[in-house]
Amino acid sequence: MPDTTNNSSSARVVDGAIPAALLAAVRSERPLVHHITNTVTINDCANITISSGAAPVMAEAPEEVAEMVAAAGALVLNIGTLSAAQVEAMLIAGRRANELGIPVVLDPVGVGATRLRTETAQKLLDTLDIAVLKGNAGEIGVLAGTGGSVRGVDSGGVAGDPVETARECARSTGTVVSMTGAVDVVTDGSRIYLVGNGNPAMDRLSGTGCMASSVTAAFVAVADDYTVASAAALAAFGLAGERAACGACGPYSFRTGLFDDLAGLAPDDLARGARIEEH
C-alpha cells in the first residue's frame, strides 16, 4: 500500500457522484472499444467491456485496424503476447487514433521481463500520443526508470514509494499513469488519486490487469478528463471485485461473479461505494 502519511492532511474524498456519472455515460453512450490485445485474455477483455456497458471489437490485422479504430471511442494496446505483425498493427491503429483524437490506453504487460517487451513499450510511448498508461507497480517502475521488477507478467514491486514512482512516470512520459496495486494510484504528474476499491482475489486470477485496461478505455471514451475517468474506472472494477469475492468459493466462481457484478453495478451503487481520494 502506498505511504501517504506525508500528504494525508491534504487528502480530499472525491464525490461519488463523479464516477457514478461516468458509469452512467458509458451505459448511455455504449462506446466502441477497439482492442489489439493478447490472446490469453482476449475473451475476458471482450466480456468485461460488455459488462461495463461498452462494446468491444478485437481486430489486429494491419490491413484493417486504421479503418476499425476510426469507428471507436477508445483504443487499447496490450503487449501481453507480442508479434512483429501485432506491433505493426498497434502503430498503424495508434497513429490513426491520434489523428482522430481517439484516446489510446497502453497496457505494457510484462515490460522489463524481456528486451522485446521493453523496447516495444518504449517505441509505442515515443511514437504515439498515449492517453493512459495502465500497468502494475513493477511495469510502471521499469518505464519510470526508478526501479521496478517483473517476473513473467507479474509485478515484483517497485524500489521506492509507489506514488512518487507513478508521478515520475507520468511526468517523464507525458501520459496519465494508472498503476494498480493494493491501493491504485492514478496521476497526471500533478494531481494524484488513490483508489481503495478492490479485493485480493483479483490478484489471483489471470487477466484482471488486462480487464482493468478495458474498463479504463470504456470510461475514457466518454470523458474529457482522463485522469478522473481512469480513477473512476478502477473504482468501478474494484467495487465489482469486492462484491464478487463475497459470493465466490474459488477463482472461477469469482471470475463469473466479476462479470456479473460489474454488469449489475448501478451508478448509485458506485456513488455510494467508490473510495477515491485526491492528494
Cell readout for 230 is 481512469
Q: Rounded distance, CA 32 to CA 221, Å?
A: 8
Confirm or deny that 80 is annotated as ligand binding. Answer: no
Q: 207 a known binding residue?
A: yes
101 is in an annotated binding site: no
134 is in an annotated binding site: yes
> Annotated binding residues for substrate, as ranges?
58, 207
> Annotated binding residues for ATP, as ranges?
134, 180
> Annotated binding residues, as ranges?
58, 134, 180, 207
